[in-house]
Structure 1
């Protein structure tokens, strides 16, 4: 199956989820992550501010921050690479160039993700055999994941049914080590 068709099918399935199911999914994902000791101990967490039909991260970002983690969120650069800035509560965000909320804090540079103890990334799907994630096609997160150390937990957040077999992989695709769905955590590598 080609990536474009797979993306369309997955986005269509996400769009069909009712708001109550999306809220329940976000809650289950948040609680699964917050129960992990390696999440609880992560001092610097790279995450993202969800949008549209993605599993909602707003409550997760807030909870991580309230529990004392420093949370950095991406700021999309003009070249589609990701800069990073610190989240400092709900009032520390503004709408960015692509309509996604971004921190107003000082930009830390594209290499700031190198210092994260935990990296949470969006995905439309993840291959359960290889950990390859299917993103939106811009390559922003593949570039960011290439900067992450080999022992840092990288986690894709998914709805049920998005942990699948046989995602077409290209040379630039970066795998993740874990996937979290509303059903729980799956180790991939």
Structure 2
């Protein structure tokens, strides 16, 4: 188990270092391509509720990810609120003015909290990650927040991770609690995994 944790830490460091070198022009272009590919997914078009995230720093998706998911539809978008134990509470996205600065550089919704179980209402979960492998195993930042959210998601919910090109790997280190995703979207491709 210690080897897996070391492997995860090493890979996280490499991927975050690589992301830190992505220029702003490339980030903007990648965000546009990711938005277009994500919104073109039939699973998103059919979803009544999408649980997503608000990208920070070099995370793929762009600052307007929640607005892009909500625009022009009756779709509900749930966004996370980080709890003290690194678990996630959820609240309804109600437009850009409903997001406020929070700890760790995050922006969080100010609306009523739905509790960690609020994610159970989602048809689709759009989650951050640093990499995914050909099995759909996702490598996150290491806090376990989204592993817990994915474990609570309904079995029928579709899980999507947004990544930059080059972050779909042959294999990422995985632990028993890690939950695979169904789809990875990069600026250049959409990858579907079977569970």
| 3-state SS in 2 of match to 1:102 | strand
Name 1:93's counterpart in structure 2: 99
C-alpha distance in 2 between matches for 1:33 and 1:52: 20
Aligned CA RMSD, in angstroms, stands at: 1.1
Task: Return the match for 1:44 from 18, 43, 49.
Answer: 49
The size of the alignment, in residue pairs, is 188
9, 17, 22: which is aligned to 1:12?
Answer: 17
Report the TM-score when normalising by structure 1: 0.96
Alignment partner, residue 116 of structure 2: 110
Gaps of 5+ in 2: 1-5
Structure 1: segments with no counterpart, 5+ residues: none
Counting only pairs closer than 5 Å after superposition, residues 154-169 of structure 1 correspond to structure 2 as 154-169=159-174
Alignment of 1:142-181 (within 5 A): 142-181=147-186
Please report how far the alpha carbon of residue 182 of structure 1 lies from its aligned counterpart in structure 2 after TM superposition. Answer: 0.3
Alignment-derived partner of residue 61 in structure 1 = 66
Match of 1:127 among 109, 133, 136: 133
SS at match of 2:184: strand
Q: What is the match of residue 137 of structure 1?
A: 142
* Residue in structure 2 matching 1:79, options 85, 99, 106: 85
- 1:106-145 CA deviation, whole Å, 9 max, x = no partner? 00000111110110000000011x2111001110100000
Q: Distance in 2 between matches of 1:52 and 1:58?
A: 9
Q: Distance in 2 between matches of 1:84 and 1:13?
A: 30
1:57 and 1:14 mapped to 2: Cα distance? Answer: 14
TM-score by length of 2: 0.93
1:81-104 C-alpha deviation (Å, 9 max, x unpaired): 000001111100111232200000
Which aligned runs of 4 or more in structure 1 are off by greater than 2 angstroms?
56-60
Q: Is the 8 A contact 2:120 2:153 kept in 1?
A: yes
Instruction: Supply the distance in 1 between the matched residues of 2:107 and 2:37 (Cα, whole angstroms).
Output: 24
